[in-house]
Amino acid sequence: MVLRRELLRGVVGAMAGTWLGACGADGRSPTWGRFRRGVATGDPRADAVVFWTHLAEAVGDEPLRLLVATDEALRDVVASRELVAFESAGHTVRAEVDGLPPGRTLYYAFETVRGERSAVGRTRTAGEGEVPSVRLAVLSCASYAHGFFHVYRNVSQVTNLDAVLHLGDFIYEVADGFYGSLRAYDPPHECRSLDDYRRRHAHYRLDPDLVALLGMHPLVATWDDHEHANDAWPGGSPWHDEATEGPWAERLRASTRAYAEWMPLGSVEPLWRSLRFGDLVELFVLDTRLQRDRPPADEREARAPGRSMLGEGQRRWLFEGLRASRARWKLVAGAVQFSPHPEFWNLDAWDGWAVERDALLELVASERIEGVVFLCGDGHKSFAQDVPLDRRTYDPATGRGSVAVELMTPAVSSPNLFGAEARAFEAMVRAASPETKFVDAEHRGWLWLEITPERLLAEHRFVEDVERPDGGRERVAARFEVRHGEPWLRRTGP
């Protein structure tokens, strides 16, 4: 089946302050004066969206005005706000604007009292009631030092998305040359302080393809570890030495504050939340990084009762939310892989909190909660798999015995973790895990979803080569369908 997709042809010509006509993967920076880091929106609801920008070269607190309209020329204004780029927030601006029309494409811009105006951004509110379809792009793991963000550019050119879901590693905190060396970071050293993390976010926001993405679609995001430090948890990181780098708690406060300033999200305290797209989809966005208990030392500890990935408050919210949801589809989105894989036990993912994972699956099965789809990133791999409650009663030929499915999006640019052994890893997974219907450990790309009342369609889309400026050519590597009420994958191509 060839899925309908509406792609921009060339430049978004009619759009005021066009994004794609002014930037590309050749390293040129956007040229919108003091708004050079672009504009963004996030966390779309039926009547509200969070709007964001950054004002460069500001001195002290500086007032701004936000205009939101139904047309690209910003003549039919539906909302305006007087805002301030506070010095205490690094001159970022974040504001949730309500009273907006549901299910509408909207346009917006920021301007200063001196008449300087940002490029015009494009966003969309969530629908309400009977929504015929929802389309999402799912992304994760964008190592700036490993390559160009062709994936971001490609997603920015898809005009019919309702939102972009980013599942973490939006930035990397590492020093130049430590993990990748194709592009240099600012600051060149590992991020530890508030100024460091602010500079790293600001550096990412000069990438023209990321600017294009955020200017075209509303963002829904959660963090993984590299927004803070590798393998972070509330109590520390194996890459943080308190003896030489200072208290972990101070570093975590700095990274969290910078993330809150630079991301167009409603709140990070807590980060977990749900977003509804009418009666069709409820999206449960998890924090699977900074609520977890101490990582286990081994598989035996990973199976110990009482350990929590989610923390008490988030667990109660998720379990109660799944029980109460009246949405036809429930998407549960977290950074790390949910499904068990005995052949490569990953103690940093849900394998390290196995009892709580079993409890969540038991809830889905016992309460007969339909339309549950787990979404994850983190692994620099693509997966599509059924999620059975008990592998012994699962029939891989028909999918019966599965209670949900899981889809892992590949990395935007972060590297293949297996090197020359990638194909051997894939063969091992296919041999040992019949519930895995697709695995690829080599390619970079993204996950496209289209959800209707009857079915969920998914495509793993791969880009040609992130190390070349002209390597953004895209192909569909695998296509799947999940029918509502039948929680297993059917491969439909290619």
> Is 223 found in the same domain as 117?
no
Q: Of 70, 94, 126, which residue sits at a domain end? A: 126
The domain spanning residue 489 has which CATH number? 3.60.21.70
Residues in the chain predicted with pLDDT less than 50, given as ranges, are: 1-30
Q: Of 68, 98, 126, which residue sits at a domain end? A: 126
> Is 104 found in the same domain as 180?
no
* Residue 10 backbone phi and psi in degrees, to 5: 75, -130
> Is 97 found in the same domain as 145?
no
CB contact at 8 A, 222 and 165: no
Q: What is the C-alpha end-to-end distance of the chain, expressed in Å?
A: 9
Distance CA 299, CA 303 (A): 6
> Is 87 found in the same domain as 137?
no
| CA within 13 Å, CB half, 15 | 26
> Is 107 found in the same domain as 140?
no
What domain range includes position 473? 129-493
pLDDT at 272: 98
In a domain, 3, yes or no: no
pLDDT at 477: 98
Q: Quick one: DSSP state of residue 473? A: -
% of the chain surpassing 90 pLDDT: 93
| Cβ neighbours, 10 Å, residue 324 | 8
Side by side, which strands form the sheet with 62-69? 77-85, 62-69, 105-112, 121-124
- Whole-Å CA distances, 414 to 66, 216, 313, 322: 35, 23, 32, 32
Residue pLDDT, tens place only, 243-256: 999 999 999 999 99
> Is 133 found in the same domain as 121?
no
Distance CA 317, CA 342 (A): 29
In a domain, 24, yes or no: no
Q: Of 76, 103, 126, which residue sits at a domain end? A: 126
Beta-ladder partners of 387:
404
> Is 134 found in the same domain as 83?
no
In a domain, 306, yes or no: yes
Q: Quick one: DSSP state of residue 487? A: E
Beta-ladder partners of 493:
479
Number of domains forming the structure of the chain: 2
In a domain, 462, yes or no: yes
In a domain, 16, yes or no: no
CB contact at 8 A, 493 and 475: no
> Is 108 found in the same domain as 222?
no
Distance CA 81, CA 93 (A): 12
> Is 278 found in the same domain as 150?
yes
> Is 271 found in the same domain as 404?
yes
pLDDT at 31: 62
Nearest alpha-carbon partner for 37 in 115, 93, 99: 93
Distance CA 376, CA 442 (A): 17
Structure tokens at 112: 């200063």
In a domain, 458, yes or no: yes
Query: H helices within 263-392, ranges in order?
Result: 299-302, 312-324, 354-366
pLDDT at 2: 25
Distance CA 84, CA 91 (A): 8
pLDDT at 478: 98
The domain spanning residue 107 has which CATH number? 2.60.40.380
> Is 192 found in the same domain as 122?
no
> Is 294 found in the same domain as 181?
yes
Structure tokens at 403: 């209670």
pLDDT at 486: 98
> How far is C-alpha 337 from the chain's CA centre?
14
Beta strand 39-42 pairing with 77-85: unpaired
